[in-house]
Amino acid sequence: MTQIPDVTLNNGISIPQLGFGTFQIEPENTREAVRTALEIGYRHIDTAEMYGNEKEVGQAVRDSGLPRGEVFVTSKLNNGFHARDDALTAFDRTLADLDIDYVDLFLIHWPLPTVSDYVETWKAVEEMGRSGRTRAVGVSNFTRAHLERVLAETDTVPAVNQIEVNPYLAQDEVRAFCNAHGITIEAYSPIAQGKVLDDPVITAIAERVERSPAQVTLRWHVQRGDIVFPKSVTRARIEENSRLFDFELSPDDMAAITALDRGERTGFDPDTFSWIPG
Ligand code: NDP
């Protein structure tokens, strides 16, 4: 694997621009998948209490034998624990399940604007940041309106906003807002869970530059400056997705992919998503 560049967050810490996603990896497959990613050279793992695989992620990080400081670990606050005390307990639980002393980044997974007050939850996350048990704090699935409230009503600018971004959902407005306020974008579902890989614009570019459609799509993200963490349980794909830093897309190819935007989500709408674990 060629060297993965780092991105510097607004509190000065570095995060590898390419990571490994673990959504929809069953617990029994997680240890192997994460171990494979670390073996191949990934040094950034994205998990969440909601994924039900934090224990296995932590196990795989330990299995790798890498010093803790060499692997960037992100987890997220599950829905249903947005009240301050519940949030602090959920954070303790994440650290216990991962069985590590600190995470590198901790995020509010969903804003849940219809069921709770994400500003109050953000204040609890600020406390976690001050505890030193997470090196950075951020949010996920926050729209511009949600971020405007957080910026107006609290003291900490989120280090990242993890949102769905892919060629069918370019997210220009919220990306521009975040860029203007020093909030780094993490682009989740970067290949739209596979949906964009048959797009004729992407397959034509892939053929011409002699790369796979997944590599072309992930490279598009990287050149836009976003952080990505594609998920795969397939060793060959985990390897393929890591080879992004030894080729470049032309401005015309970048523009052609950006023009595919049709505002189409793969996941849920953050303004209405209100699922709480039972
Ligand atoms: P991705 O866009 O990463 O797509 C994953 C799917 O694409 C899997 O079915 C995988 O199959 C397939 N795939 C992966 N690589 C290739 C390839 N090279 N060629 C063909 N198919 C491929 O989707 P995710 O939704 O998993 O997003 C990535 C990560 O983002 C998540 O794992 C999670 O960490 C994060 N995320 C965060 C959310 C949030 O609310 N904050 C929501 C959703 C995701 P297979 O595994 O069978 O190989």
Rounded distance between C-alpha atoms, residue 129 and residue 144, angstroms = 22
Superfamily per CATH, domain 6-191+226-231 = NADP-dependent oxidoreductase domain (3.20.20.100)
pLDDT digits (tens, 9 = 90+) for 72-118: 999 999 999 999 999 999 999 999 999 999 999 999 999 999 999 99
pLDDT digits (tens, 9 = 90+) for 42-81: 999 999 999 999 999 999 999 999 999 999 999 999 999 9
19 lines ligand 1 (CB under 6 A): no
The mean of the pLDDT values for the chain is: 98
C-alpha of residue 21 to centroid of ligand 1, in Å: 6
Nearest-CA residue for ligand 1 atom 35 is 188
Rounded distance between C-alpha atoms, residue 51 and residue 250, angstroms = 37
The tokens describing 260, both together, are 């595919």
pLDDT digits (tens, 9 = 90+) for 146-198: 999 999 999 999 999 999 999 999 999 999 999 999 999 999 999 999 999 99
Catalytic residue set: 51
Nearest-CA residue for ligand 1 atom 5 is 193
Can you state the percent helix, strand and coil of the chain, rounding each to 5? 45, 15, 40
273 lines ligand 1 (CB under 6 A): no
Quote the DSSP letter at residue 109.
S
Identify the residue whose tokens are 């997210």.
Answer: 171
Strand partners, 187: 163, 228
Nearest-CA residue for ligand 1 atom 3 is 230
Count CB neighbours of 69 within 10 A. 7
Look at residue 1 and tell me whether its pLDDT is greater than 70.
no
269 lines ligand 1 (CB under 6 A): no
Mutate to test the pocket of ligand 1, among 232, 272, 275 (most ligand atoms within 8 A of CB): 232
Rounded distance between C-alpha atoms, residue 79 and residue 97, angstroms = 17
Task: Break the chain into its structural domains and give their ranges.
Answer: 6-191+226-231
Give the global pTM. 0.98
